[in-house]
């Protein structure tokens, strides 16, 4: 039986093949993923259940979550972003504004280099992560940057995004980690990632609009494949926000929404079992210039997309 790994902050478990379909994992640098999987396997063998809570983030999501966790105050405040100052809301963990997080895509060769792990609470991760070429930001053995024992990134790079940017500009790359000796060997350039559309980086304002439903149930059950979705008013917009609903036809599966010509995982991915309707609320999907995007379904089902608004 194939190993499964924790993913997200609930009870989801995925095989490696399924994990590789998740955008937030897939857009982490391949070498960081390779080190993490090796660490996950050894953790399981030692009786610990380590996994990926969250990995890569797109700039729009990064900004939206920063605003959710912080509120504007007179300067200087705790954080400065776009010329304004902010403090952290009570009971929330800090969240970097866009351009200052190693979780963002584009840090190194198009990828993110940081993962927030789950299963770290028993501190096996803290004690052992360095032998896998990963350092964390808290705990007894980590560098203690901000107490975030769950946050990990490569040992070869600096802690802050600004310092990492300097290293990358100087030509630093990730090495292939030798788990037998705990040392790096010369790096092998990874394949380029699925390119994040530049248009979504420019999406700074959400325009709510009249609800509209794109519904395939009138065509009967659709076979597995990719289907183009066009919604009136989407032309020229950067991205679309909406609720994706999958009505399965007796088979488990997953769906992704993206603008590419081949099935490409994104944060809008969702999984379903054979019997229950699956819903992904408030997802953001980049749009092609003509306002279209694609929805891929892994197994036969019907698709419903309810419009919330457009990112401009």
- Condensed to tens digits (0 to 9), the pLDDT of residues 66-92 reads 899 999 999 999 989 889 999 999 888
Nearest to 255 by CA among 290, 219, 216: 216
Higher pLDDT, 185 or 117: 117
CATH pick for 198-311 out of 3.30.870, 1.10.860, 2.60.120, 3.30.470: 2.60.120
Q: Among 46-55, 129-138, 186-195, where is mean pLDDT lowest?
A: 186-195
Rg (C-alpha) for the chain, rounded Å, is: 20
Supply the pLDDT for residue 282: 79
* pLDDT: which is higher, 265 or 241: 241
Sign of CA dihedral 192, 196, 199, 201: negative
Which band of pLDDT confidence, cut at 50, 70 and 90, is reported for residue 267? Answer: very low
Give the confidence band of 150 by pLDDT, cuts at 50, 70, 90: very high
Residue 140 has pLDDT above 90, yes or no: no
Q: What is the pLDDT of residue 194?
A: 52
295 closest CA partner among 222, 229, 234, 246? 229
Q: Which pLDDT score is estimated for 274? A: 78
- Are 297 and 222 in contact by the 8 Å Cβ rule? The answer is yes
Which residues fall within 8 angstroms of residue 108, CB to CB, at 6 or more apart?
29, 164, 168, 173, 174
Average per-residue pLDDT for the chain: 85
What residues contact residue 63 under an 8 Å CB cut-off, 6+ apart? 97, 98, 204
With a cut of 50, say whether residue 12 has pLDDT above it.
yes
Question: Sorting pLDDT into bands at 50, 70 and 90, what band is 178?
Answer: confident
Write down the pLDDT at residue 198: 45
Q: Which CATH number fits domain 5-55+102-185: 3.40.50, 3.20.20, 2.40.10, 3.30.1380?
A: 3.30.1380
Range 205-212 contact pairs with CB under 8 angstroms and sequence separation of 24 or more = 205/311, 205/312, 206/241, 206/309, 206/310, 206/311, 206/312, 207/237, 207/309, 207/310, 207/311, 207/312, 208/308, 208/309, 209/233, 209/307, 209/309, 209/310, 210/307, 211/306, 211/307, 211/308, 212/306, 212/307
- Dihedral Cα 176, 182, 183, 188, nearest 10 deg: 0
Domain ranges for the chain: 5-55+102-185, 58-100, 198-311
pLDDT digits (tens, 9 = 90+) for 183-210: 766 655 555 555 444 444 445 678 888 8
What is the rounded average pLDDT of the residues 235-239? 86
Tokens of 179: 């788990």
């Amino acid at each position: 039986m194939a190993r499964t790994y924790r993913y997200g902050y609930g009870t989801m478990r995925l095989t490696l093949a399924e994990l590789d379909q998740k955008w937030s994992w897939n857009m982490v640098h391949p070498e960081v993923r390779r080190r993490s999987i090796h660490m996950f396997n050894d953790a399981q063998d030692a009786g610990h259940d380590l996994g990926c809570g969250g990995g890569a983030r797109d700039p729009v999501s990064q900004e939206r979550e920063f605003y959710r966790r912080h509120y504007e105050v007179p300067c200087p405040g705790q954080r400065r972003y776009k010329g304004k100052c902010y403090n952290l809301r009570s009971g929330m963990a800090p969240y970097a504004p866009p351009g200052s997080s190693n979780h963002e895509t584009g840090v190194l060769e198009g990828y993110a280099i940081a993962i927030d792990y789950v299963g770290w609470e028993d501190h096996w991760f803290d004690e052992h992560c360095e032998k896998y070429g990963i350092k964390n930001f808290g705990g007894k053995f980590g560098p203690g940057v901000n107490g975030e024992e769950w946050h990990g990134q490569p040992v070869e790079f600096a802690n802050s995004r600004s310092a990492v940017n300097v290293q990358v500009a100087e030509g630093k790359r990730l090495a292939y980690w030798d788990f037998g000796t705990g040392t790096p060997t010369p790096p092998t350039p990874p394949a380029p990632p699925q390119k994040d559309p530049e248009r979504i980086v420019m999406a700074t304002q959400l325009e709510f609009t009249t609800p509209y439903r794109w519904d395939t149930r009138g065509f009967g059950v659709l076979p597995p494949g990719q289907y183009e979705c066009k919604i009136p008013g989407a032309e020229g917009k950067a991205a679309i926000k909406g609720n994706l609903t999958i009505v399965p036809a007796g088979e488990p599966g997953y769906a992704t929404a993206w603008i590419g010509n081949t099935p490409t995982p994104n944060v809008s991915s969702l999984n379903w079992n054979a019997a229950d309707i699956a819903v992904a609320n408030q997802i953001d999907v980049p749009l092609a210039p003509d306002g279209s995007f694609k929805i891929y379904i892994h197994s036969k089902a019907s698709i419903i997309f309810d419009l919330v608004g457009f990112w401009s």
